[in-house]
Amino acid sequence: MAPFTPPFPVLFLHAFPLNGRMWDDQKAFLVEHLGWPPNLVLAPHHPGFGDAPGVEGGLDAFAAKALETLDRAGLDRAVVVGLSMGGYVAFRLYARWPQRVAAMVLADTRAGPDDEVGRARRTEQAARVRREGVGWLPDALLPALLGETTRRDRPEVVERVRRMMLEASPEGVAAALEAMRERPDSTPLLASVSVPVLAVVGEEDTLTPLEEARKIAEGVPVGRLAVLPGAGHLSNLENPHAFGRALAEFLKSLGEP
């Protein structure tokens, strides 16, 4: 696709329990292949991940910290790209500060809250990580986070995700689990979203499968859906080429009459 002038900054929000470096491929794609100015491509760490200090206040506090990234860069609005937990943060950002959001890409995420089983699981995992650290996370989470194709054929992706997991701080992981557990239902928000939305899902995602992405795409006034082959829950890492194509087409559409 030929380079084009980006209409808006892009703010990437990462998944649990990774960090902002999970978006390195997409940042490079925007800058090197689409001609996006590097200062308009932002991928901060959520509180408690990477080198970002933790905060209290749940996902609303995560969203506020994401906005601080825009403020420090002198940017008013951005296309917000959130995957998994990043999608939950994007919903909270839009709910509280819709004027700061130019469009949204909601990947491998859901609008609804955790059910009781999910809430209990997050509580148990938060207690365990505080007790034992993060060493057990890869074995416990990788089978669900990555699709069958990736686990079978892409050992470099498996290792990359494993390393990022092991870099996370126990308290950051525990606080994020509790923040996700307490997140509100964003389903009622969908009908009031006044910006374009792209819902992305890996075809092998079993955590937030196709029907969850379809609910988002069909629930907003201006929505579209992209299903990425050979990818699970971390679709941007598992099929970066397909993710990049879907993102580029969506961003280009924002600059068209």
Arithmetic mean of pLDDT, 227-244:
98
pLDDT tens, residue by residue, 55-112: 888 999 999 999 999 999 999 999 999 999 999 999 999 999 999 999 999 999 999 9
The residue with greater pLDDT, 137 or 52, is 137
8 pLDDT more than 90:
no
Distance in angstroms (rounded) separating the CA atoms of residues 242 and 224: 15
- How confident is the model at residue 79, as a pLDDT? 97
Which CATH number is 10-254 given? Answer: 3.40.50.1820
257 pLDDT more than 60:
no
**Domain edges within the chain:** 10-254
- How confident is the model at residue 54, as a pLDDT? 84
Contacts of 256 (CB under 8 A, 6+ apart): none
Distance in angstroms (rounded) separating the CA atoms of residues 62 and 97: 13
- How confident is the model at residue 6, as a pLDDT? 55
